Amino acid sequence: MKRFSLEGKTALVTGGSQGIGLALAEALAEAGATIAYNATSPESLEKGAAAYSKAGISATGYVCDVSDENAVRKMIAQINKELGKVDILINNAGIIKRIPALEMSVEDFRRVIDVDLTGAFIVAKAVAPGMIERGGGKIINICSMMSELGRETVAAYASAKGGLKMLTRNLACEWAAFNIQVNAIGPGYIATPQTAPLRENGHPFNNYIVAKTPAGRWGTTDDLKGTAIFLASSASDFVNGHILYVDGGILAYIGKQPQ
């Protein structure tokens, strides 16, 4: 349907070589967009290249750490030259360090904020001038359940994702005048390499999270695809500063009564 078409658009998906980023890039490509993605190492880029080629998608990869402003500027200049100005940015790159707050070093805390929060700001700021020149654009930040909730061991991650929620709202306010819609997807618990340690056989978190999810299962990366297309397309042109949670109902649920 034309309203959801991304034909003629260039999309950058950060951290697009695996997991959620790869799936969202596939979705945007399916809707017609040209894909650029980045990763932190040539090995990771290669892994992404193999996955895109298997899916029959032509995607251009760049080695770039989103927390390094100079590297990001260079990458965006290269994308502008090779693929055209970025119309759609998905700020997906992210890390998590599961360490109890009392044991977490300040360096670890800062690194998570640097990648998950400051990195999103750096990339958004680098693509915005091109979007303004083109008359508009779409920025989609990947938030989390931890944009709303806390739990043991994820103080830095929750701080970053809570901050990312407010960065989304703030940039939405500042850039709406340029016809740039800034929104976010808040995925629930999704089966990817990031959550693999929590899904290992017999890990108590596995049953716990399924019980906390009204849908009764882990999410898949496919579950997020339609939402990404919506937020990247003209169908969402009057949606500004919204965090769309795709969580199987976790945030709506008080939890099961103990038996």
- Smallest gap from Cβ 243 to ligand GCO, in A, equals 12
Stretch that binds ligand GCO, among 7-15, 117-125, 145-153, 170-178 (CB under 6 A): 145-153
Pick from 187, 184, 170: nearest CA to 222: 187
Contact (CB, 8 A) for 62 and 38: yes
Contact (CB, 8 A) for 88 and 140: yes
Give yes or no: 253 in active site. no
Which of ligand NAP, ligand GCO, none does residue 21 bind (CB under 5 to 8 Å by kind)? ligand NAP
* Catalytic-role residue among 37, 157, 189, 245: 157
Distance separating alpha carbons of residues 257 and 41, to the nearest angstrom: 46
Beta-strand pair 88-91/243-246? unpaired
Tokens of 210: 């399924």
Pick from 105, 116, 99, 208: nearest CA to 155: 99
Pick from 76, 148, 175: nearest CA to 157: 148
194 lies in the binding site for ligand GCO (CB under 6 A) = yes
Contact (CB, 8 A) for 11 and 232: yes
146 lies in the binding site for ligand GCO (CB under 6 A) = yes
In total, the chain counts a number of residues equal to: 259
- Smallest gap from Cβ 151 to ligand GCO, in A, equals 6
Query: Which of 36, 51, 75, 93 contacts ligand NAP by CB under 6 A?
Result: 93
Tokens of 3: 């309203």
From residue 94 to residue 113, the character string flagging contacts with ligand NAP as x (rule: CB under 6 A) and all else as - is: xx------------------
Residues 224-253 contacting ligand GCO, CB under 6 A: none
Stretch that binds ligand GCO, among 44-52, 61-69, 119-127, 139-147 (CB under 6 A): 139-147
144 lies in the binding site for ligand GCO (CB under 6 A) = yes
118 lies in the binding site for ligand NAP (CB under 6 A) = no
Tokens 């400051």 belong to residue: 118
# binding residues, ligand GCO (CB under 6 A): 14
Q: 3-class DSSP state for residue 13? A: strand
Contact (CB, 8 A) for 240 and 170: no
27 lies in the binding site for ligand NAP (CB under 6 A) = no
Contact (CB, 8 A) for 63 and 42: yes
141 lies in the binding site for ligand NAP (CB under 6 A) = no
**Which parts of this chain interact with ligand NAP (CB under 6 A)?**
14-15, 17-21, 38-41, 44, 65-67, 92-95, 115, 119, 142, 144, 187, 189-190, 192-195
Instruction: List residues near ligand GCO by CB under 6 A.
Output: 96, 98, 144-146, 151, 154, 157, 187-189, 194-195, 198
* Residues annotated catalytic, as ranges: 157
